[in-house]
Structure 1
Amino acid sequence: MNLSTGLAVTVALLAGNGFFVASEFALVAARRPRLERAAARGSRAAASAVAGVRELSLMLAGAQLGVTMCSLGLGLVSEPVIAHTLAPLARAAGLPSAAAHAVAFVVALGLVTFLHMVLGEMAPKSWAITHPERSAMLLAPPFRAFSAATRPVLAVLNAATNLLLRLVGVPPSDTASVSRTPEQLRSLVVESRRLGLIGETDLRLLTAALDAPRAPLAGLVTPLGDVVAVPAAATPREIVDTAARHGLVRLMVQGPGRDGAARMVHVRDAYVARARGVRTTAGELAHPVPALPIDTPVAEAVAALRAHRSRLGLVLAADGRPAGLINLDDLLTPCSPRPDARPNCVNVG
């Protein structure tokens, strides 16, 4: 093989090695929720990346197979070609034939190893870790095509690996997981406080944040007496003026709607209506607000508000009467509890 062909093969093998390395690190480092959101918006590349994450063990086997094939190719093709090119130069420098061949081989080995580590390993790895979701969506389609073509070989390799892991008492896993249970996080927080890594205030805040998803809404309700509302007949100007006076962007509308549900109006809609000169009222601009029992856990309340695409929710007391309002922002933001009262961090705006 001549030098030009050998160099072209070397470049192709280095690029292939970098492709497999980047694909491997991208699937491991990418955040699955972000990929799933992109896939839900219609991205086929993101859907392919999510599918790769779901069968991560097989994908990693494919990456290792690809890296091994490229590394073997560099050893079989690139090193002999470079050594064969350098050997005449070493002999021309006065070295004996055997010594010239040895020097050329060492130089070729060092050069190929350097290129393999820098261009084929470290550079693509750094790029994939820096932009994990972007690299995963870019590389997943061709990488999964390679994995599909070599699936029988990968299945055998993966089965052998899983068998070896079971023999040493390690349960194999097909997905990457770094999640921690609330109990594990509480233990970490308590241990951090014991070691003096966090203060007592931080301990209370973190404990409250971990307990918040299971806590009821009772401590986060804004009483009806503190809720700012406008009449259903209020004009857009009156809505804007009331919102500006209280520093809010959402106002409750007095009286239920036709379906009996509580309603709110966003000051943005009032601004648009006023700018367009539309004659309308707060009741016509209002949106329904979901109602939740006061003993609803915070996590369920967040899911309910998101399902209704509402920032506010009406909280019902045990007897079914309105008790106050909750704000989605307050449910998602840890509050600093006061020692003399319930958490006071609710902002209906």
Structure 2
Amino acid sequence: MSDWMGIAWLVVLLMANAFFVAGEFAVMSARRSQIEPLAETGNKRALNALKAMENVSIMLAICQLGITVCSLLILNVAEPAIHHLFAVPLEALGIPEPISDTVAFLLALLIVTFLHVTFGEMVPKNMAVSVADKAVLLLATPLLWLSKITKPIVFSLNWIANHALRLMGVEPKDEVTSSYTIEEVQSIVEESTKHGTLDDDAGILSSALEFSDYTVENIMVKLEELVTLPADTTPKSFEKAVGRTGFSRFVMLDEDEAYAGYLHLKDVLAIPDSLYGEPISVTRLRSMANLKATAEIEDALAVMQRTGSHVARVLDEGNSTIGILFFEDVLEQLVGEIHDATQQQGYRRRNLLDEEDSESRASR
């Protein structure tokens, strides 16, 4: 083989090595969430990409086999050609053969190593990682084709490797994990925030991830802080309470000062004018959901959505009422403080017992 033919083979082998390196990192780095929508449309390349990602150990075995073969061929074909290209002119300069041969070998090894590491390894690796989703769509099909051709060899190598792992107490996987725990997602959000990727959304994402860290008892309104209205409240006095506090919902007491239910402003607005001076009928009260103090917030949200109640009674282990949970408080855990444009400053959980018309404590 001529020296220049050896150089030509070097280019071909570097390209082949780059293909296998890019394929290895593309299969490892691609995200199923980006590939699956394409696969659902019947895209052939996307379907092949998913198949490759689901058989990652086989794909890695093919890539490693290809990289190893290419590397060995580069050393055995390209290095001697480059070696000879340097050795001949060095000998022509009168340099003794042992010295010229050693210098030519070192120069050839340096050049081949540089080309192999740079263009056969680093460039394709960085490219595949940077555009992993596109790379796996491009490379998965030829990798699957090669897996059929080299099936006996690859499956034998994979079988031996898997059994070696099991002997070391490690269970091999055929698919790269694409799901994350809550803690891992929180870490991703924090890291993305540091790099400025999620400046606007990080707060909501973090709150959503921390939703399960809180119980109803953590965000409920305690009874001593709760604002309510008495049983003899009239539509007129109700509207005055709304005007002073800005609240649209009020927890109502019965004649025994027990928590009878709650009223929304629109319930009162539906009362005929002829009854505006009369106490509001208990039949107009909305029922409150019942929640355990130890219930997680997402469970409380599900109960309130299912029952359609925006106010819930919080019970302890003995089923005694220890607080009230408002739907707004649940939402605030997710999106942050909600400011009602009509709510008056200082009336958030203020006791109204001494206010005009005997309104005794108002809620949202």
C-alpha change, 1:77 and 1:162, in structure 2 (3 Å) is same
1:304 matched residue in structure 2: none
Alignment RMSD (CA, Å): 4.0
The reply on whether 1:91 has 2:91 as its aligned counterpart is yes
Q: Per the alignment, do residues 135 and 185 of structure 1 end up closer, same or farther by CA in structure 2, a change over 3 Å counting? A: closer
Ranges of 4+ aligned residues in structure 1 off by more than 6 Å: 183-189, 202-205, 338-341
Number of aligned residues? 230
Matched residue type, 1:115: L
Within 5 Å, give how 1:131-210 maps onto structure 2: 131-177=131-177, 179-182=179-182, 206=206, 208-210=208-210
Q: Please tell me the residue identity of whatever aligns with 2:59.
A: M
Question: Residues 303-322 of structure 1: matches in 2 within 5 Å?
Answer: 317=307
Residue 101 of structure 2 is aligned to residue 101 of structure 1 = yes
Secondary structure at the aligned position of 1:28 is classed as helix
Structure 1 residues 85 and 134, CA gap change in structure 2 (3 angstroms): same
How far does residue 93 in structure 1 lie from its aligned partner after superposition? 2.1
2:28 corresponds in structure 1 to 28
Distance 1:135 1:298, change over 3 A: farther
User: Which of structures 1 and 2 has the larger relative contact order (alpha carbons within 8 angstroms, sep 6+)?
Assistant: 2
SS at match of 2:335: coil
Q: Which residue of 2 aligns with 1:45?
A: 45
Q: State the shift of 1:91 in Å.
A: 0.6
Query: Any conservation in 2 of the 1:22–1:127 contact (CA below 8 Å)?
Result: yes
Mapped partners of 1:298, 1:186: distance in 2: 18
Alignment CA distance shift 1:337-1:184 (3 Å): farther
**Which deviates more from structure 2 when the two are superposed, residues 10-19 or residues 156-165?**
156-165
**CA deviation map 1:292-313 (0-9, x unaligned):** xxx9x979x9xxxxxxxxxxxx
**Deviations for 1:131-165, whole angstroms, at most 9, x for unmatched residues?**
01011101111121112211111111111111111
Q: Structure 1: where are the runs of 5+ without partners?
A: 190-201, 220-294, 302-314, 320-330, 342-349
Q: 1:82 to 1:187 in 2, by over 3 A?
A: closer
Cα deviation, residue 34, structure 1? 0.8
CA pair 119-338 structure 1, distance change in 2 beyond 3 A: same
**Of the two, which has the highest radius of gyration?**
2
Aligned partners of 1:186 and 1:207 also within 8 Å: no
Report 1:198-277 matches (<5 A): 206=206, 208-211=208-211
SS in 1 for 2:180: coil
Amino acid at match of 1:317: T
Point out where structure 2 has 5 or more consecutive residues left out of the alignment.
Answer: 190-201, 220-290, 292-296, 310-330, 340-347, 350-364
Q: CA deviation at 1:124?
A: 0.4
Q: Deviations over 1:51-84 (max 9, x none)?
A: 0000001100110000001001101100011112
Secondary structure class of the residue paired with 1:61: helix
Structure 1 residue 43: deviation in Å? 1.6
Deviation of 1:123 (Å): 0.3
Question: Structure 1 counterpart of 2:91, which letter?
Answer: R
Q: CA deviation at 1:184?
A: 6.8
Distance change (3 Å), C-alpha of 1:215 and 1:18: farther
Cα gap change, 1:101 to 1:155, in 2 (>3 Å) = same
